[in-house]
Chain A
Amino acid sequence: MSLAGHYSYWVTIFLMVAGLYIVIARGNLVKKLIGLGIFQTSVYLLYIAPGKLIGGTAPILDASFSTYSNPLPHVLILTAIVVGVATLALGLAIVVRIREAYDSIEEDEILEKDRAGEEDR
């Protein structure tokens, strides 16, 4: 199949890798979460793009059509998006609390403070 034929997969891969890279390479806690979100978005694309069949119509039964696009991936991804939103919300809530406790949201600064040995707080 041609490059163009796999267009959606290329985008998926790019988003996946970019998201993971941001998670690993960025020290700012909020940026990590954004990277995580991008990574999860790639998965949405991975599911939904193949659902649309070439020549398929919307999944509403009608006598004049024989090929329908698959509605199931949309259902699955709606669930996944909700999970992703919940994860993001929780992650940001934790970041807010980290900011209150450490006065910073940079991972290296936080680890430095921990290493400096301030005990149970």
Chain B
Amino acid sequence: MSPESLLLAALMVPVLGALAIAACDRWPDLRETATIATAAGLLLCVLSLLGPVLAGARPQLTLVQMLPGIAIAFRIEPLGMLFALVASSLWVVNSVYSIGYMRANSEAHQTRFYVCFALALACTMGVAFSANLLTLYLFYEGLTLITYPLVTHHGDDEARRGGRLYLGYLLGTSILFLLPAIVITWVVAGTLDFTSGGILGRGLSNAAIGGLLALYMFGIGKAALMPFHRWLPSAMVAPTPVSALLHAVAVVKAGVFAVVKVIVYVFGVDRLAGLASVDWLPFVSGFTIIAASIVALRSDNLKRRLAYSTVSQLSYIVLSASLLTPIAVFGAVLHIAAHAVGKITLFFAAGAIYTASHKTEVSQLDGIGRRMPWTMAAFTVGTLSLIGIPPAAGFASKWFIFSGAAAAGDYVALAVLTVSTLLNAAYFLPIVYAAFLRPPAAGDAPHGEAPPSMVLAMFMTSALVLGFVFYADPLLALARAVAGMSGS
């Protein structure tokens, strides 16, 4: 199949899959098979595209003219390829996990869940492969809306309130900031196509560039830059598979993906380099890193701690991208992948803990490693990745982020990164310690390990974390292409 048809297939497979899943409503086993088949099909399409894209092909597809001069169009470039790869591969693993979780917890409305999930992945592919800002915005908003039923899955008051915050922050930031930013870009640049080197040229004064960047950065609420990060902990009312994929991979990654895409392909690294008016971005992201880590440290609820850890890690990517050196951008892009595999492992473990023992707080986890060795082993692996200890995936990306900060001569950034790494250790390692080395609390009801499909999923992601060095070459090549570095 030609790359263009593969591109179309990658967009259509999740949609058709959603229809198939909906049709199989009455036969749960068939429905679950449909989900796995769709996820596998998508991964196949994306993997088939990897080769051509690495070789330099840039498949394109134009659909309708949404506005005169701006079409809904797709064009695969390295950053989008990387994002699509991460999202599609983790969807397969997450589907395996979801089946175990949803069945073990006897969740209601499972068909709705799987259908929305598939459609969310379709929107993610749309974001990843978008050729211009309007297409990106279209699928970005679509992603927000289609994940709303997933976030509010339980349908109770708590879900409703969480959903309000989720929607309020995400739609609020995108309508208030992102949309005007896109219109301004259209007025100044006359085009919205993503172009290497940026499209803004000399049309805006340096101060205006800074203002426009602010509109973009705060408008892309999915990147959870403070103070617009509150939606992320609120979304933890969702069932854990939702938290896992969407908030460790698709939704937040769509945010940082958009951030990097805007910096590299709308503004252009060269246009931003050395401008005083963009100096605020490393500070805001640096502040987010530290502040979120502190909140994580003080959170007893496990999912909340993970959520704030995500806020912090996302700002690693924003900070690194804002340093504007090639190595820093390289590190940022790599971290999109590395953080995804690490975080999803941690969320899987949190969900497994809840499913098996109904425990949600960190303080309840004493001695749980004895009862759930596989789960906690996976949790440990995830922790290693997030702290940045080799051979976990997080080590590679953190190495490059640190290098990038050093290359930019930004000592404040280096300090922030160092402190943050220490804080990461401070809020994750005690959990591992308590789980394995402390005796269980008295009066603790006995329970077993999580269901097999969940354990299998955790095993797969842990393997991805630890085995990073074995499969990372294509990812490194893609990241290098984005950063504009020539290969070695």
A–B contact, 8 Å CB criterion (strictly below): no
Chain A contact residues, CB within 8 Å of chain B: none
